[in-house]
Amino acid sequence: MVLYRFDAWWSGLRYVRRSVVLRLLGTVIVFSCAITLILTAVQLYRDYERGIAQIQNRLVDMTAAIATVSAKRYGSSISRN
Protein backbone atom coordinates (compact mmCIF):
# COMPACT_ATOMS: atom_id res chain seq x y z
CA MET A 1 0.00 0.00 0.00
CA VAL A 2 2.79 2.43 0.87
CA LEU A 3 4.61 1.40 -2.29
CA TYR A 4 1.48 2.16 -4.34
CA ARG A 5 1.24 5.65 -2.84
CA PHE A 6 4.90 6.31 -3.52
CA ASP A 7 4.54 5.08 -7.10
CA ALA A 8 1.50 7.32 -7.65
CA TRP A 9 3.39 10.29 -6.22
CA TRP A 10 6.44 9.55 -8.36
CA SER A 11 4.41 9.28 -11.57
CA GLY A 12 2.74 12.60 -10.72
CA LEU A 13 6.18 14.13 -10.26
CA ARG A 14 7.24 12.83 -13.68
CA TYR A 15 4.18 14.54 -15.19
CA VAL A 16 5.15 17.82 -13.55
CA ARG A 17 8.71 17.53 -14.83
CA ARG A 18 7.46 16.98 -18.38
CA SER A 19 4.88 19.76 -18.32
CA VAL A 20 6.31 23.08 -19.49
CA VAL A 21 3.40 25.04 -18.05
CA LEU A 22 3.82 23.58 -14.56
CA ARG A 23 7.58 24.10 -14.64
CA LEU A 24 7.08 27.71 -15.71
CA LEU A 25 4.49 28.22 -12.99
CA GLY A 26 6.83 26.75 -10.39
CA THR A 27 9.68 28.96 -11.57
CA VAL A 28 7.51 32.08 -11.41
CA ILE A 29 6.30 31.24 -7.90
CA VAL A 30 9.82 30.54 -6.62
CA PHE A 31 11.22 33.69 -8.23
CA SER A 32 8.40 35.83 -6.87
CA CYS A 33 8.87 34.42 -3.36
CA ALA A 34 12.60 35.12 -3.50
CA ILE A 35 12.06 38.71 -4.66
CA THR A 36 9.41 39.25 -1.98
CA LEU A 37 11.70 37.96 0.77
CA ILE A 38 14.62 40.09 -0.41
CA LEU A 39 12.54 43.27 -0.64
CA THR A 40 10.96 42.62 2.76
CA ALA A 41 14.40 42.18 4.33
CA VAL A 42 15.61 45.43 2.77
CA GLN A 43 12.54 47.30 4.00
CA LEU A 44 12.89 45.91 7.52
CA TYR A 45 16.56 46.89 7.61
CA ARG A 46 15.79 50.44 6.44
CA ASP A 47 13.02 50.80 9.03
CA TYR A 48 15.36 49.50 11.73
CA GLU A 49 18.08 51.97 10.78
CA ARG A 50 15.56 54.83 10.67
CA GLY A 51 14.25 53.85 14.12
CA ILE A 52 17.75 53.74 15.59
CA ALA A 53 18.47 57.22 14.17
CA GLN A 54 15.26 58.58 15.71
CA ILE A 55 16.13 57.11 19.10
CA GLN A 56 19.61 58.63 18.95
CA ASN A 57 18.19 62.03 18.02
CA ARG A 58 15.76 61.87 20.94
CA LEU A 59 18.56 60.93 23.32
CA VAL A 60 20.61 63.92 22.12
CA ASP A 61 17.59 66.20 22.64
CA MET A 62 16.99 64.81 26.14
CA THR A 63 20.64 65.19 27.06
CA ALA A 64 20.60 68.81 25.93
CA ALA A 65 17.38 69.48 27.86
CA ILE A 66 18.73 67.86 31.02
CA ALA A 67 21.95 69.84 30.72
CA THR A 68 19.98 73.08 30.32
CA VAL A 69 17.73 72.35 33.31
CA SER A 70 20.69 71.27 35.43
CA ALA A 71 22.65 74.39 34.53
CA LYS A 72 19.70 76.61 35.41
CA ARG A 73 18.99 74.78 38.67
CA TYR A 74 22.54 74.51 39.91
CA GLY A 75 23.53 77.87 38.51
CA SER A 76 20.72 79.63 40.38
CA SER A 77 21.40 77.75 43.64
CA ILE A 78 25.10 78.53 43.45
CA SER A 79 24.48 82.23 42.83
CA ARG A 80 22.13 82.40 45.87
CA ASN A 81 24.76 81.06 48.26
pLDDT by residue (tens digit) across 22-37?
889 989 999 999 999 9
Helix axes of 2-18 and 20-80: crossing angle, nearest 10 degrees: 90
Check: pTM over 0.95? Answer yes or no. no
Cα–Cα dist 14/18, whole Å: 6
H helical segments located in 1-81: 2-18, 20-80
Assess if residue 27 is contained within a domain.
yes
Q: Does residue 76 belong to any structural domain of this protein?
A: yes
- Within a domain: residue 18? yes
**Residue 33 is assigned to a structural domain of this protein:** yes
Report if residue 2 sits inside a domain. no
**What confidence score (pLDDT) does residue 72 get?**
83
Averaged over successive runs of 10 residues, the pLDDT of the chain (81 residues) comes to 62 70 90 98 98 96 90 66 48
